[in-house]
Structure 1
Amino acid sequence: MKPIWIVDDDQSIRFVLEKALLREHLPTRSFSNSRDVLAALNTSADDEGPQILVSDIRMPGGSGLELLEKVKAKHPGLPVIIMTAFSDLDSAVSAFQGGAFEYLPKPFDLPKAVELIRRAVEESQREEVAEERMSEAPEMLGQAPAMQDVFRAIGRLSQSNVTVMITGESGSGKELVARALHKHSPRANGPFVAINTAAIPKDLLESELFGHERGAFTGAQTMRRGRFEQADGGTLFLDEIGDMPFELQTRLLRVLSDGHFYRVGGHSAVKTNVRVIAATHQDLEQRVKEGGFREDLFHRLNVIRLRLPALRERKEDISVLTRHFLQQSAQQLGVEPKRISDAALAWLEGFNFPGNVRQLENICHWLTVMAPAQMVEAKDLPPEVGARPPESASESAAAPVRTGLPGVADAVPPLASHLAAPVAGFTPVLVGGLAGWESELEAEAITLLSAGKADVWDVLTHRFESRLILAALANTKGRRIEAAQKLGIGRNTITRKIQELGLE
């Protein structure tokens, strides 16, 4: 990782921050004035420059605000944290539009300072990954006629600034289409800013979109630019627009009409030049009829509508997408790419993919981590896709179910045999004419109980929790905290369960 550059004429401040960051395994480089920083920036290669710049505001030979302005002119993507005494806060806020990432008031609490710097590092790394993916990875893959129609539409809209509404199911790649529209538009050199309106709490969404003034509400210690200001000169992607609160729709309509808005707590209109691309998986016409979405806003957004097909409508693309995602996952994890057999591909092509392309990407990441061999066979596919069907009835009767989970008995008779020949007095419940997983669970419990097992609860709970946690980790690419949030449990709980279930 590139170092964090610290700029302060006070040697004690530099020393304290250096030691604190080194304890967190964050490399540093220190300067006593802004002149040396600018000279180092001019002579450093791209991979030798700073990851983050932390600068004092008052220094001899040039202030931190002047340094901020010069740095942002040459390195607009570099996060800059300004250190300032409380008495300097007003002057620092006036430079917020100059691009400061955040402010660190002096005297500062050291753990909070380190936390802020780490947050800036993570944000910087996310931006680097996003830029790398946009520049190096294929924007979109697809040979299916439905996708070719999408590509043609992107080509026709490439020189236009018109507002676009992208519709399609969740996980179908609406943000990729929005990024492609931006990349091939006259605004390609401007920022691309994306926000999922459904993922932000209602009381915070207004501030996220329009920003806020200092003191606008409790905790608003500095002025903050919203996404509309951040996207000035570029493109703003509003994902899941159908979930936007009704009262905010009026403010959005005003911005789309004349490009003016007010920050939360502000009294001066802010002008922005932004192309808006919206997306939704909902039927907005129905939302309008139900009174949940403004009709005038719908017509303002629905200038050009672009429908993205579900993955089940373009199954001929599953093969190329699978190989692409397996390569991508291997690069991310630093391992040899998995190969996939024709039988496994055929099984994937027969799956409906309710989660669309995102689900296929998650499955490929799961296979990269969990598949036992370099060649992925149908039997290696995750539980959500379904087990490979047996080749014959005799195999079905004889083959044990392999859980692949440590500490769980593997030689359990197959569930299908229990459903075909149930225990006396037990009739499995059929869901839609077919046995669902609940009925299979019932059948499994009956078998274990009939065999005299005394720990049926522990065995089945172990299997259930293991599969649930593994599926969540595959979905979040191994990020435990995010997996816990999606499962609705605490991060301490998921850590304890992983240890108890032997999933480390």
Structure 2
Amino acid sequence: MSRRALLVEDDNAIATVIRAALEDEGFTVDTCDTVACRDESLAEHEYSVMLTDVMLLDGDGIETLGVVRDTYPDMPVIILSAQNTLDTAVRATDRGAFEYFPKPFDLDELVRATCQAAESRKAKTGEDSEPPDGLPLIGRSQAMQEVYRLITRVLHNDLTVLVLGESGTGKELVAEAIHQLGKRKSGPFVPVNTAAIPRELIESELFGHEKGAFTGATSRSIGKFEQAQGGTLFLDEIGDMPPEAQTRLLRALQSGRIRRVGGSEEIAVDVRIIAATNRDLMPLIAEGGFREDLYYRLNVVPIKLPPLRDRADDIAPLARHFLTLAAAEGLPKRTLGNDAAKLLAEQYWRGNVRELRNLVFRAALLAREDVIDAETVCSLLDEGERAQPDESGMDLGGAITRWLERSEFADGDLYHGALAELEKPVFRHALAKTSGNQVRAAQLLGINRNTLRKRLSELDIDPEGFARG
């Protein structure tokens, strides 16, 4: 059968672009914009793959997907959606979608996935049940879409997941989502903050101990691995785990068996491991503080959570969600004013979602009116919250971004003006390192000496000022 695709999309502009891209790859593409038209086309032709939007003119593309999957079980289906929520991603996966693409999507990536789907002629078969209510992650920003996609890809397997992100970004919520929506949802979810356990007790906490194993061990204790049998063990702040515990953890992951402290019996454990850290583990490995083999054992599927400052569009929805939670906990019922929402979106949020939650709860408690306004938010921010970032701990990209946000360039000057300003500290650093010796500075920079002299003149940098007296 030649490659034939059915594209179900009610946005003519998007449909035209996708159709042209697929036809360039040799596909014959039929298009339609309704569920009814889709069903007629499926009855008339055999398709290598179907791409469908969620919200169509006469129905929900995901809700009706179950019937399509039952009738055409070997036809892969790719879901396109502007409803960029975790719920949409999970529904798409649960109904057997081959792939899920939030809008706006990368066209090249969509074409590659369509080719792969057509070649495979296989699609995952999902359950028809509704996903559970109360999904723990909120946000429709583009920054969260890759997170949602990765979550859906690990729901129906036991691959080890390493969740990366700054403190307060919601790493445990990701672990809970994978557990609650995945194949082990009927088992226990056991979280362990490895940074909060005293060094001398961490092995006992994880693996348990026998009576008399150490002073104070008056009875047998079951560790977190055994408590998580049949479910998920979430190891938070894994980068702070002591080296000796790392060795035993690695052995447990490799063998699927543990031994209680002071015990001789090996116990088989059936748990899924999800680990998390806010630290960069590679420098720790280089320093000998974290085992490289353990890192690769944990880093099977990395999921990196974006900081809140990179998902500003999600701040207002998150704040309103936290107001709902605050009311459920007995605080006054409040709503968020538009001016307050705008002010919240402008903050840097070094503490990420956790910091936002704390501020919203305070606002719910202290606001004088039912509608929280910008004045209330501003007064709370003045109590120690940071409207501007502390750039001392910021990476280079973050510092440059903040500098650009504070700078003003005339139209047409941004590129060359920014590059000139960024070059200056680089050249000054090279001259300082070489005491103003231009030959050595050019070697350090990896550029021609004449190029260095020209740029120093253009940037008005005097190399003599770096010469040592």
Q: Could you tell me which of 211, 214, 217 is aligned with 2:214?
A: 217
Contact 1:341 1:378 (C-alpha < 8 Å) held by counterparts = yes
Which whole-Å deviations, capped at 9, do the CAs of 1:340-378 have from their partners, x for residues lacking one?
211111111000100101111111111121222211112
Task: Specify the alignment match of 2:337 in structure 1.
Answer: 341
Question: 2:381 is matched by which residue type in structure 1?
Answer: V
**Alignment of structure 1 residues 48-67 onto 2, 5 Å:** none
Contact 1:366 1:382 in 2 (8 A): no
Unaligned runs of at least 5 residues, structure 1: 1-133, 388-430, 433-504
Report SS of the residue matched to 1:148.
helix
2:258 matches 1:266 = no
Contact 1:235 1:275 in 2 (8 A): yes
Corresponding residue number in structure 1 for 2:280: 283
After TM superposition, the score normalised by the length of structure 2 is 0.53
- Post-superposition offset of 1:221: 1.6
2:367 aligned partner, one-letter code: A
- Whether contact under 8 Å (1:190, 1:235) holds in the other structure is yes
Q: Secondary structure at the match of 1:220?
A: coil
CA positional deviation for 1:194: 0.4
SS of structure 2 residue aligned to 1:195: strand
Aligned to 2:299: 302
Deviations for 1:183-235, whole angstroms, at most 9, x for unmatched residues? 22211111110001011111121111111111212222211100000001111
**What is the deviation of 1:386?**
3.5
From 318, 321, 327, give the equivalent of 2:318.
Answer: 321
CA contact (8 A) 2:132 2:181 kept: no
- Give the Cα–Cα distance (whole angstroms) in 2 for the partners of residues 197 and 164 of structure 1: 16
Distance in 2 of aligned mates of 1:236 and 1:269? 19
1:366-445 superposed matches below 5 A = 366-381=362-377, 385-386=381-382
User: Is the 1:193–1:237 contact (alpha carbons within 8 Å) kept by the matching residues of 2?
Assistant: yes
Partner of 1:147: 144
**Whole-Å separation in 1 of the counterparts to 2:326 and 2:133:** 15
Contact persistence 2:339–2:374 (CA under 8 A): yes
- Quick check: 1:367–1:382 contact (8 Å CA) kept in 2? no
* Equivalent residue, structure 2, for 1:232: 229
Q: 2:351 aligns with which of 337, 349, 355?
A: 355
CA distance in 2, matches of 1:330, 1:193: 28
Given residue 335 of structure 2, which amino acid in structure 1 is its aligned partner?
Answer: R
Counterpart for residue 185 of structure 1: 182
How far the C-alpha of 1:244 sits from its partner, in A, is: 0.3
Distance 1:335 1:326 in 2: 9
> 1:39-83 deviations in whole A, cap 9, x for unaligned?
xxxxxxxxxxxxxxxxxxxxxxxxxxxxxxxxxxxxxxxxxxxxx
What is the CA deviation profile of residues 423-480 of structure 1, one whole-angstrom value per residue up to 9, with x for unaligned ones?
Answer: xxxxxxxx99xxxxxxxxxxxxxxxxxxxxxxxxxxxxxxxxxxxxxxxxxxxxxxxx
In 1, distance between residues paired with 2:378 and 2:235?
A: 33
CA drift of 1:335 comes to 4.0
After superposition, the C-alpha distances for 1:314-344 in whole angstroms (9 at most, x for unaligned) are 0000011000001101111x24421121111
Residue deviations 1:372-415 (CA, integer Å, cap 9, x gap)? 2211112212656248xxxxxxxxxxxxxxxxxxxxxxxxxxxx
CA contact (8 A) 1:288 1:294 kept: yes
Distance 1:158 1:316, change over 3 A: same
CA distance in 1, matches of 2:256, 2:231: 13
C-alpha deviation, 1:293, in angstroms: 0.3
| Structure 1 position 172 matched with structure 2 position 166 | no
DSSP-derived class of the 1:249 partner: helix
TM norm structure 1: 0.49
Could you tell me how far 1:303 is from its partner in structure 2? 0.8
- Check whether the contact 1:348–1:385 (CA below 8 A) recurs between aligned residues: no
Whole-Å separation in 2 of the counterparts to 1:303 and 1:243:
19
CA–CA separation in structure 2 for the residues paired with 1:248 and 1:358: 29
Query: 8 Å contact 1:351–1:385 — kept in the other structure?
Result: no
The answer to whether the 8 A contact 2:332-2:365 is kept is no
Measure, in 1, the Cα distance between the counterparts of 2:249 and 2:311: 34
CA contact (8 A) 2:331 2:365 kept: no
Measured after TM superposition, the shift of residue 240 of structure 1 is 0.6
Q: Describe the shift of the 1:335–1:366 C-alpha distance in structure 2 as closer, same or farther (beyond 3 A).
A: closer
2:154 alignment partner in structure 1: 157
How far, CA to CA, are the matches of 2:360 and 2:313 in structure 1?
17
CA 340–291 in structure 1, closer or farther in 2 if over 3 Å, else same? same
1:208 aligns with 2:205: yes
Deviations, residues 4-49 of structure 1 (Å, cap 9, x unaligned): xxxxxxxxxxxxxxxxxxxxxxxxxxxxxxxxxxxxxxxxxxxxxx
* Cα RMSD after superposing both structures: 1.8
Q: Which residue of 2 aligns with 1:256?
A: 253
